[in-house]
Every structure is written in C-alpha cells, then in structure tokens.
Amino acid sequence: MIRCRLFLLAIVGLAMPLAAHAELKAPSIFGDNMVIQRNAMVPVWGTASPGDEIYVTFEQKTKDGKREESKSVIAGKDGKWMVKVGPYPAGGEPGILTIKGPETKDAAKGERSTLTFKNILVGEVWVCSGQSNMQWEMYRSTLDPETNIKGANFPEIRLFHVPRQSLPTAQGDIVAAPRKAVPPFVNIDAKWVECTPDHIRDFSAVAYFFGRKLYEQYKVPVGLINTSYGGTPAEAWTSREALLAKEELKYYVENLDKSAAAYDPAKAKAAYEDALTKWKAAAEQAKKDNKPIPKQPTLAGKPGTTANSPSGLYNAMIAPLVPYAIKGAIWYQGESNAGRAYEYRTLFPTMIEDWRARWKQGDFPFLFVQLAPFWSGDSEGVTYAELRDSQLHTAKTLKNTGIAVITDYGDEKDIHPKQKQPVSERLALAAQALAYGDKVVYSGPVYKSKKVDGNKLFLSFDHLGGGLVAKDGKLVGFKIAGDDGKFVDADAIIEGDTVVVTSPMVAKPSDARYGWKNFMTVNLFNKEGLPASPFRTDDTPYTTMPKKK
C-alpha cells in the first residue's frame, strides 16, 4: 500500500475570520463512473469556505495490493481549492475518490462534509467536440444503428455528455440546460455513465466508434467527454481572450459587445410577436396551397446566449471541463465556417492553441476530420475546398495535430454522411501514431512539391505509406493550368512515388489541383487504404478572403 500525505497549510487561511460555512463542492465532471487519465498528474478541484482544509483521497485495489493516496490543501480567499493526485497506471479494480472538508457545526461526532465518487477507472480520457457531425447520435447516424447500439455493451468505456448551451461568461461548472423536445433523452444530464445500449443511443457516434477502437487496441478503460453542438462555428468554441488577442479575430468580440449593449428585450419580443403573426398567416396559406410550411420564427436571444455567439460555447461547454486531465481531443467541425474559409486558417489554430493553453497539459494531441465532399448549394463551388485547405494548413503547421481525410465517404446532398465508423477509425489511427507513439501509417498522401518537365507536371507527396495507388480505376479529380491560371481537366498517372499530370490543352503546365471543389470524386490513396487530401499547388487568393474596405 502506498501512502502519500501532503499538507499545504497557509498562514492566511489560519487567520481567516469566522463566517457562514460554504458547502463543499466539486464540478460536475467529477462523479461516479468517471475515468481519470492514466500516467498523468490528475487535478481535483472545487470550492469551499475560505480557509477550509480539504482532504482528497483516491483508493484502488491493484494486482500488487491496495493503492491509497491522500493530499490536502487550504481553500483560498475565493473559496477555490485544487490538488493533483497520481500519476496512476491503467488497470486495477474500480476506485473511490473521497473529498472531505472540515467538521460541520453540529458534527459533535466528528463527521466531515464529504463527497464520495465510486466505480472510478484509470485509463484514457478524450474530449470529443465540434458541430453536428460530431453531435450526431448513434440512433440516426450509422448505416445500421440498431445493430451497433445493441452491441455497445462496454462497461469499461464511460460516457459524459455536456448539455448543449451558450452563455455570455466563462463558467466554473456546467450549468443545467433545459430539456428539449427531442427523444430519447437517455443521457442529456452532465454525469458519467457506463457504455450500454441504452446510454449509447443518443451519444455521439464518432466519439463512440473512436473510443471503442482505442479500447480494443489498448485494452484499457476509455472515458469520452462529448461536448458538441450542431450548426456552430469555431469562434463560438474559442475564448473571448483568445479572439481579442488576434487582430484578425477581435471584431467578433467587438461586434458582440455592441449587440449586447444595444439589446432591448421588449423590442425583441415585439419583433418576434409581429413575425409570428405573419408566419401564422403564411403557414395557413401554405397548407391551403399544399406547399411546404415556412420556418417558424424564434425569439431573438440575448447576445452571448445563442449557439453561434462568439465564445458562448467555450464559456458553457469547454471552460467547465478545464483542467480535467485528458489525453487529447477529437474535433469534427468546419461546415459553419465554410463561407469564411480563409479566416479559418487563423481561427482554427487559435482555438486549438487556446484550449491547450487553458488545460496547461502541453501540446496535447488534437485530431480532426477534414470536411467530406458536399455540394453546399453548388457542387462546383469551392468554399468547402478552401475550408479543407485551411484544415490541411493547420495539420501541416501546428504540431501534434492529425487530420482524418474522408473524401471517400461524402454524400453530395447530405451534409451528415451516415458512415461514421470509418471516420472514427481514421481518427483512431492518428491517435495511435501521435498520442501513443505506435509506428503505423495514419495519413493518406499529402502534397509536398511540384516539378515541371516539358508538358508534364510531377507531384511529390509525404505520407506515401506502402506507395501510391489509384482506387477503382485510373486517377480522377485532377486539373492542370499554365501560366494563364486557367484550369482544365487533366490526365494523371502514377509513376513510382509521384503523380504525373498532363493535358493536351496545356503545353507548358504551371500548377495542378486535386479535388478542388465542394463535391468531387477522387481516388488517390496509399496502399494502406488512406485517401490523399485535396490540394492545390497554386496560391491564387481564396474566394473567401475578406473584401478590402
């Protein structure tokens, strides 16, 4: 049995005047069934009365006997306290985390204010975030949902669901969100639960398949924190301070502050009631004409409380999780920023670095999904292509990031592709390589350089794996241009580790593009079955660059 007792006594705490005793509290992320991160110092924190001495003990039976560690700390002037326990290896029987405060006023028996959390496992903890393709639940997001749900019985995989909401200020704990009239309401409360068919039904499909793959690979408990919200932009997931620190992004906060100052709830209600009256008339007419009923108007919320408010989701759905010990994060988002794809080159890395700075766990692995092919109102458009390129730029320039390319799983008219399992498995491959140091091929080919020889353009790649292949026939999806910048369809063949691109219409090629439109069919892979990321070799300004004033 290992015993370690550390007593941090502060003179200022001993000198505190007597006051009404505050309740001992820990954030909602702590609870029965939770997973704590293996091989890491694990922060445990909460609030109490200023000057209270708080004892934190973790007990667990292991193969070697019994492990027990206790630490104590004095709550600060603001009542906040924190200790770090560990590190612990994975394995062992479910443990117990006990947090004790001072004796209560009427506790002649020597009782303490106590929080006790049971059935705790030590393993791998991942934050799973983004918009609807991360949020999309198992019951509506896989090719065979009922079979997958029925088989989701893994008591050593634990699930935590963060309620979806936006708030104007950063929260120290998760604020209960109102229930919405969308079934099945199995796991909308902020609490840890074991992975069972009932609990997985409305949990993120991408998160579940990712966690299951890690569990099968490493045979250790896995904790999945699902904090996702459909239809939301990256600026909503980024802190106010991080946005203000970037000259290109601070306008988000400035505009929000102006809107908040000008907000008049009475005027907002009057405008809503007027719009609702008009909608009712239009809906009745649509019924008579046998036409689709127009979308019902909603009451404009206070700025900072809507899902797309800058920093709103960070405040309500990320800040309360910090600094819970994690292994890394997976992310599936970008659709809501496609119209500002050029800005995403700055915004997305800013958000990642913001999270890393807040967690204070170094450059933890951040793995994300590149947008699938989708028409977005115009299959030939390029806003999605530009967003994918911004995602690729992030993977190339920000350390310890990985990108899962899914060009082979898009649906032209459905923004929510049904096949979530292969998406998760590609994220898990990136985790194997970047988070766990396994020597695996985790990426498809990534464009590296070009070389012109006569009428041929030679393209070289990183992440070749076992070599380049054209899946299901000859290569498709390439375009080529000369110095005039006019791109035309091109022929492409694989020669060794290069792709050679030509066209009878371009005698002196200059640049090439691959999969450079919203929806496309492309088929360059490596032999490990991982697709190449779409790319371009030219530096033509993005169509989504902001217009000069």
What CATH number is given to the structural domain containing 369?
3.40.50
Clarify whether residues 360 and 465 are in a common domain: no
Mean of pLDDT values over 268-294: 89
* Residue 11 maps to a domain: yes
β-partners of residue 35 are 121
Q: CA-CA distances (angstroms) from residue 523 to 237, 445, 448?
A: 33, 11, 18
Clarify whether residues 183 and 229 are in a common domain: yes
- pLDDT score for 9: 35
Clarify whether residues 356 and 229 are in a common domain: yes
Residue 291's pLDDT band (boundaries 50, 70, 90)?
A: confident
CATH number at residue 116: 2.60.40.10
pTM of the model as a whole? 0.92
Residue 58's pLDDT band (boundaries 50, 70, 90)?
A: very high
Clarify whether residues 90 and 159 are in a common domain: no
* Residue 549 maps to a domain: no
Mean of pLDDT values over 122-133: 98
- pLDDT score for 183: 41
* Residue 545 maps to a domain: no
Clarify whether residues 89 and 234 are in a common domain: no
From the CB of residue 363, how many other CB atoms can be counted at a distance below 10 Å?
13
pLDDT of residue 8 exceeding 70: no
Clarify whether residues 109 and 85 are in a common domain: yes
Residue 62's pLDDT band (boundaries 50, 70, 90)?
A: confident
Tokens representing residue 296 in the block? 């019902």
Please give the Cα distance from 318 to 352 (Å, whole number): 12
pLDDT in tens, 139-192: 988 889 999 999 999 999 999 999 999 999 999 999 876 655 444 444 457 899
Mean of pLDDT values over 68-89: 96
Mean of pLDDT values over 188-204: 91
Mean of pLDDT values over 255-284: 91
Q: CA-CA distances (angstroms) from residue 121 to 125, 208, 353, 437?
A: 10, 17, 29, 23
Among 97, 122, 147, give the residue marking a domain's end: 122
Task: Say what percent of the chain tops pLDDT 90.
Answer: 82
Residue 460's pLDDT band (boundaries 50, 70, 90)?
A: very high
pLDDT of residue 295 exceeding 90: no
* Residue 285 maps to a domain: no
Clarify whether residues 88 and 180 are in a common domain: no
Give the residue among 408, 403, 391, 514 at the shortest CA–CA distance from 463.
403
Give the residue among 226, 199, 214 at the shortest CA–CA distance from 90.
214
pLDDT in tens, 398-411: 999 999 999 999 99
Residue 105's pLDDT band (boundaries 50, 70, 90)?
A: low
* Residue 40 maps to a domain: yes
pLDDT of residue 65 exceeding 90: no
Among 122, 143, 161, give the residue marking a domain's end: 122
- pLDDT score for 195: 97
Query: Going by DSSP bridges, is the β-strand pair 222-228/192-195 parallel, antiparallel, or unpaired?
Result: unpaired
Clarify whether residues 61 and 171 are in a common domain: no
* Residue 58 maps to a domain: yes
Is the peptide bond between 323 and the residue preceding it cis, with omega within 30 degrees of 0?
yes
- pLDDT score for 186: 42
Count how many Cα atoms sit within 13 Å of the Cα of residue 387 in the half-sphere of its side chain: 26
pLDDT of residue 3 exceeding 50: no
Q: How many domains does the chain have?
A: 3
CB 48 within 8 A of CB 72: no
CA end-to-end span of the chain, whole Å? 69
Among 78, 100, 122, give the residue marking a domain's end: 122
Handedness of CA 79, 20, 115, 32 (dihedral sign): negative
Which run of H or of E encompasses 386?
Answer: helix 383-397
* Residue 10 maps to a domain: yes
Clarify whether residues 135 and 118 are in a common domain: no
Clarify whether residues 114 and 150 are in a common domain: no
Clarify whether residues 213 and 156 are in a common domain: yes
Domain span holding position 26: 5-122
Strand stretches in 286-362, DSSP E: 328-332
* Residue 399 maps to a domain: no
The DSSP secondary-structure symbol of 365 reads -
Average pLDDT score, the chain: 92
